[in-house]
Amino acid sequence: MIKPHGSNELNPLFVYDAQENEALQKEAQSLPGIIVSSAAAANAVQLGGGYFNPLKGYMSREDALSVANNMRTASGLFWPIPILNLVEDAGSIKAGDRIALKDPNIEGNPILAIMDVEGVDEFTDEEMAMMTEKIFRSDDTEHPGVATFNSQGKVCLSGPIRVLNFSYFQSEFPDTFRTAVEIRNEIAEHGWEKVVAFQTRNPMHLAHEELCHMAMKRLGCDGLVIHMLLGKLKKGDIPADVRDAAIRKMVELYFPKNSTMVTGYGFDMMYAGPREAVLHAVFRQNMGATHFIIGRDHAGVGDYYGPFDAQTIFKEEVPEGALEIEIFEADHTAYSKKLNRVVMMREAPDHTKEDFVLLSGTKVREMLGNGIAPPKEFSRPEVAEILMDYYRSIKQ
């Protein structure tokens, strides 16, 4: 199986031993505690599940600035985006303290992790601006990722953590949430050697489905892991439970049995385009995928990125050998009226725009909201029905 990033073995930071976990939970009650941001909580969940291997915790100011500048930590580890615990005010917390990190997303703010604080440092305005520009390629506060990143505070708490639970993800999505450890184990149980991963924060329409079939066939893969984001999204995105139901129905009806895993991970969407695409590749390698589909406008939002910037970054900015996972580059896919099947548009040079069934996201949402199923060339009817039910429910 493909090696994790940065080490020979996966090193999840979750405390799996029940007695040790219980002891740490008890200890945490007597420690100074802070309620972290949702982004920092999501980072803890990813660290706990092994997705951010080989990191041991939150990055220092020095590592964060180095990663933002050149995608390397100060010690030289390739990493695309700073993994931070930012707060507005650290209060009396200082280096050497042991603190409890409290979950902002669950009522009562239960203990999420214990942290051994190695550094308490404040970024300057100029450093925050530099990191924002490098990570998001924008400083526009209308960009949801830029807004979230700059709303957490400038004080950086760095140091190793021990993760004690997986926030709301395990309880709300018991059939879907999986750690990198669990996905690796399941891939091994299947006996899959070549595995392609598909990232989604949206329901999958016919073009997405066919793209997965194409990748599996062209790469000669044994299996597919559909890996959906279960964390915070921007306003207007379809909730995770609805996406989950729609994707499961599609897989049940239109994929060969035992060929596909439907899974999810507990991370908040950053909408950081190219840099986030590289981060996505890191944690797909950590979960055992050998290949990763990067399509049009991967992890993007609005018009902040070019349609294929998330592919270009792997050629122009990711050093050769930095990652073992391979990228499957996908063009925009659409149903060809001439060929009566879904194709990658670049592979149909004799087509005009009128030869494709093309619907904007806005148009699809409008149709679904009005109880109108998109054409069969765009969406499977069983998937459309689930989405129409959702839109009907929010109109009431």
Quote the tokens at residue 338.
């001439």
- The residues annotated with a catalytic role in the active site are 201-202
End-to-end CA distance of the chain: 49
Non-local (6+) Cβ contacts of 280 within 8 A are: 199, 292, 298, 299
Within the chain, what is the greatest distance between any pair of CA atoms? 69
Around Cβ 216, how many Cβ atoms within 10 Å?
24
Quote the tokens at residue 210.
């066919």
Around Cβ 48, how many Cβ atoms within 10 Å?
27
- Measured between alpha carbons, how far is 153 from 122 in angstroms, rounded to an integer? 9
Measured in residues, the chain has a length of 396
- Measured between alpha carbons, how far is 338 from 355 in angstroms, rounded to an integer? 6
Quote the tokens at residue 234.
């921007």
Sequence-ordered alpha helix ranges (H) in 89-205? 125-136, 144-149, 169-172, 180-190
Cross-strand partners of 28? none
Cβ atoms of 298 and 273 closer than 8 Å: yes
Quote the tokens at residue 198.
């598909």
Cβ atoms of 216 and 224 closer than 8 Å: yes
Cβ atoms of 196 and 295 closer than 8 Å: no
Closest CA to 307 of 328, 331, 277: 331
Place of tokens 């925009």: 332
